[in-house]
Amino acid sequence: MKKILLVIFVLYASLAQAGYKKGKIIFLNGDIKEGYVEYFELATENKVSFKATLQGEKEKLKSDDLKEIIWDMGNGKHKRILRLKYAEIRNKEGRLKIFDDKSWFSVIYAGDFEVVSFRTTGKGLNAESHCIHWKNDDYATMLAMAGNVIGRKKIIRDRGPHIFKGKCDTLADALKNKTFEPNNIDELIAWYEKNCGNE
């Protein structure tokens, strides 16, 4: 009976800790906590659970006090997420609307700029958006929905010139003049790295 209880206890403890991964939390004020961070994927997560050790006491941290989380995913891989405001290009003139609330964005590319993904769920919706984040900004601007969405190529062509204007005018002009029409984010990144790195 004791052996059964021990197995049940070990199984329960393993399940309770399964959501925690080794990681690092960076606060807005520059402070850093290293230990174990509960893994999540929702952009709207308002609190983050942290433990100094797996067996340690759980501490709840407000997301709005945080800047960045880096998880160790094993095999030398890491996942990095940023706490940012969401922004949209609202018209053909490039008017930018920056929303006040912050969300979590997952970094899928990091160079001179970062491509970050924003996932929304609920009411039958499970959508992922790709946004552009310039490192000195506290917001990420929506570029296009992820995947093979109808009209995606036109959306990138319409929004791209405003997002890259003043950052890489060569790319902004190429998108505006249709001399470069990327089908996806990978093509956009490759073109930027080849033509814009020294601007």
Strand-pairing partners, residue 69, are: 25, 81
Task: Tell me the pLDDT tens digit for each residue of 146-186.
Answer: 655 556 788 888 899 999 999 999 999 999 999 999 888 88
Other Cβ atoms within 10 Å of 121 Cβ, number: 13
Task: Tell me the pLDDT tens digit for each residue of 81-106.
Answer: 999 999 999 888 889 999 999 999 99
The pTM (predicted TM-score) of the whole model is 0.82
Helix boundaries (H) for the chain: 2-17, 152-164, 169-176, 185-195
Strand-pairing partners, residue 7, are: none
Domain ranges of the chain: 2-75, 82-195
Q: Is the Cβ–Cβ distance between 175 and 188 less than 8 Å?
A: no
CATH topology (fold) of 2-75: SH3 type barrels. (2.30.30)
User: Measured in Å, how far apart are the chain's first and last C-alpha atoms?
Assistant: 71
Task: Tell me the pLDDT tens digit for each residue of 12-71.
Answer: 333 333 499 999 999 999 999 999 999 998 788 899 999 999 999 999 999 999 999 999
Q: What's the confidence (pLDDT) of residue 149?
A: 54
Q: What's the confidence (pLDDT) of residue 10?
A: 31
Q: Would you list the DSSP string of 161-183?
A: HHHHTTT-HHHHHHHHTTS---S
Task: Tell me the pLDDT tens digit for each residue of 105-116.
Answer: 999 999 999 999
Q: Is the pLDDT assigned to residue 194 strictly greater than 90?
A: yes
10 dihedral zone (left: phi>0; alpha: psi -120 to 50; beta)? alpha
